[in-house]
Amino acid sequence: MTRIVFVRHGSTLWNKEKRAQGHSNNPLDEEGFEQARLVAARLQKQSWDGIYSSDLLRARQTAEIISSRIGITDIVLDSRLREIHGGMIEGTTDEERVGKWGENWRDMDLGIESPAECMARGKQCIEEMAEKYIGQNLLVISHGAIIRHTLKALIPDFQTEELLLNTSITEIVKQGDGWNCIRYNCTEHLASS
């Protein structure tokens, strides 16, 4: 049984401002660093065989805090774990998008990556990990939309409408040819803060 635990990155200022982050390379804010320390303390209680991360700064910073706590110094950065690309909307709020492109901005071609593209790259990345680390436990530090789209690609009937919270834990296991999600959007480590 191969086990993969996804961790969404910690909070950023843009999260609070409700700005589309996409491939923007913005850092964690003070709360995000604290969230990362709390999830790291939770993950330290388990045994891990490897840690992967999106190469974007907010995910890398979260991964670095976790890796120092669990004792794995080699973080594998993979651009396929990046958030869904936001094209021209990156850095904007919904209000700003409506002001610039109108109420129907979602119907316009603004260079936003499609869910299908996001699902394909996420699934490919996770399936490669599962082949390389058969029967092992991996941590994957990434972003809300890519994690949800990847889950949908791996487990088509799984409901992923609930948005993932910062530093939430989502756990999947591969048994035989199929994947199963055994934990989704768990933030019990934040209850102590």
DSSP 100-167: HH-TTGGGS---PPPHHHHHHHHHHHHHHHHHHTTT-EEEEEE-HHHHHHHHHHHSTTS---SPPPTT
Instruction: Indicate which residues carry an active-site annotation.
Output: 9, 83
Positions at the binding site: 8-15, 58
Q: How far is CA 131 from CA 1, 73, 103, 125, 176, in A?
A: 11, 22, 44, 10, 11
Q: Using the CB atoms, write b or e for 29-66: b if 16+ within 10 Å.
A: bebbbbbbbbbbebbeeeebebbbbbbbebbbbbbbbb
Best CA proximity match to 166, nearest among 77, 4, 38: 38
Residue 8 makes CB contacts below 8 A (sequence gap 6+) with 142, 143, 144, 147, 164, 165, 166, 167, 168, 170
Q: What residues are designated binding site for substrate?
A: 8-15, 58
